[in-house]
C-alpha cells in the first residue's frame, strides 16, 4: 500500500529558491540489510530541514553518502548543482569546504586548546581564505557566535559536554560553510543544554545565512528548528511536511514519532 508519502507539500513557495542539496533515489544495502531504498531529499537555500528517523533507520548512512564518505549502491547526490559522484578528488575537496558538519559526538582534539582546535581547519583550508594572518580575530568571531570567547585558551578536558558541542560548532562555522549538516546535535545532552544548542542553531541560521540539514530523533529539537521535515521510515522519505502538519497525521508510523 502506498502510504501517505508527500502527505503535504511545502507550505511556503520554494520553487524559485536555489537548491543547495539534492538526493535522488538513494539506495544502500549491507548484505541483506536494505537500509536506504530510494530516498529523496531537497534542501533549499536558507532553510532548516529536519530529517527524523528512529535509531538504525539509516540517517547516518544517508549523511555519509551525501558527503562522499560512503559509496551508495545507486542514486545521485548533488551539492549546489554538482553531481558529487562525478567530481574528481580536488573538486570534491573544494566543494566540501562549503559544507560544515557537526557529526554525532564530533570530537575535539584533546591535546589542543580551544583556539588550536579552531585554527586547525583554517590552516588546512588556507587557500579559501587568502590572508589568515589575523587568526585570532577569525577564531574569536566564531567563538562569539557560540558565546564562548572566554574559553579560548582552555583545554577540552576543562569544558562541559555542552561547551564541547559549542566549540565543535564554532569549528564548523570557521570555514563559513553555506550548508551545515547536523547529525544528532542534541544527543547525549541534558534538556537545558539541548535547548541552548537548539537556540544556537537558530541564531546561526540568521547570522550566517546557512542552509541546514538537521538529523535528529529529538522531537523538541524538531519542533523548534524545523521549517520542513522529512520522516525516514523503511529507507524512504515516508512523509514530509511542517512539524504541525506531521503532528496531525493519522498515519500510525508518523504518529509513532510524536508519542
| Binding-site ranges for Mg ion (CB under 5 A) | 59-60
CA distance 259 to 257: 6
60 vs 186, beta carbon nearer Mg ion? 60
- How near is the Cβ of 72 to Mg ion at its closest, in Å? 16
Residue 60 lies near ligand ADP (rule: CB under 6 A): yes
Q: Contacting ligand ADP (CB under 6 A), which of 55, 89, 133, 157?
A: 55
171 contacts which partner out of ligand ADP, Mg ion, none, CB within 5 to 8 A by kind? none
Binding status of residue 58 toward ligand ADP by CB under 6 A:
yes
What is the nearest approach in angstroms of Mg ion to the Cβ of residue 59? 5
Residue 14 DSSP symbol: -
Least separation in angstroms between CB 187 and Mg ion: 8
Cα-atom radius of gyration of the chain, to the nearest Å?
A: 18
DSSP H helices, the chain, are 59-66, 89-96, 114-124, 126-129, 135-145, 161-173, 191-208, 219-225, 243-247, 252-255
Give the span between the Cα atoms of 43 and 212, in whole angstroms: 8
Answer whether 47's CB lies under 8 Å from 202's CB.
no
Q: Are 10 and 228 in contact (CB under 8 A)?
A: yes
**Nearer to ligand ADP by C-beta: 60 or 237?**
60
From residue 6 to residue 35, the character string flagging contacts with ligand ADP as x (rule: CB under 6 A) and all else as - is ------------------------x--x-x
Which of ligand ADP, Mg ion, none has residue 61 at its interface (CB below 5 to 8 Å by kind)? ligand ADP
Q: Using the structure block, give the residue that is written with the C-alpha cell 508518523.
A: 254
Q: How far is the CB of 141 from Mg ion (least distance, A)?
A: 30
Least distance CB 231 / ligand ADP (angstroms):
12
**C-alpha span between 102 and 111 (Å, rounded):** 20
Residues of this chain that interact with ligand ADP (CB under 6 A) are 30, 33, 35, 53, 55-61
Amino acid at each position: 500500500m502506498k502510504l501517505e508519502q508527500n502527505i503535504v507539500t511545502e507550505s511556503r513557495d520554494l520553487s524559485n529558491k536555489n537548491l543547495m542539496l539534492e538526493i535522488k533515489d538513494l539506495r544502500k544495502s549491507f548484505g541483506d540489510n536494505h537500509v536506504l531504498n530510494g530516498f529523496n531529499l531537497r534542501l533549499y537555500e536558507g532553510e532548516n530541514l529536519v530529517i527524523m528517523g528512529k535509531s538504525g533507520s539509516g540517517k547516518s548512512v544517508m549523511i555519509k553518502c551525501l558527503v562522499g564518505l560512503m559509496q551508495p549502491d545507486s542514486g545521485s547526490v548533488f551539492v549546489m548543482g554538482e553531481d558529487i559522484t562525478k567530481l574528481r578528488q580536488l573538486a570534491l575537496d573544494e566543494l566540501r569546504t562549503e559544507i560544515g558538519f557537526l557529526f554525532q559526538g564530533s570530537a575535539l582534539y584533546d591535546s589542543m586548546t580551544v583556539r588550536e582546535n579552531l585554527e586547525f581547519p583554517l590552516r588546512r583550508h588556507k587557500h579559501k581564505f587568502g590572508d589568515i594572518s589575523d587568526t585570532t580575530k577569525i577564531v574569536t568571531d566564531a567563538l562569539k557566535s557560540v558565546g564562548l570567547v572566554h574559553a579560548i585558551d582552555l583545554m577540552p578536558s576543562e569544558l562541559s559536554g555542552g561547551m564541547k558541542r559549542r566549540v565543535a560548532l564554532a569549528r564548523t562555522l570557521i570555514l563559513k560553510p553555506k550548508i551545515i549538516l547536523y547529525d544528532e546535535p542534541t544527543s547525549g545532552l541534558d534538556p537545558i543544554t539541548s535547548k541552548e544548542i537548539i537556540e544556537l542553531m537558530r541564531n546561526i541560521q540568521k547570522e550566517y545565512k546557512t542552509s541546514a540539514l538537521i538529523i535528529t530523533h529529538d522531537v523538541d529539537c524538531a519542533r523548534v528548528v524545523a521549517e520542513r521535515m522529512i520522516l525516514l521510515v523503511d529507507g524512504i522519505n515516508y512523509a514530509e511536511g511542517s512539524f504541525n502538519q506531521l503532528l496531525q497525521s493519522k498515519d500510525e508510523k508518523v504518529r509513532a514519532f510524536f508519542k
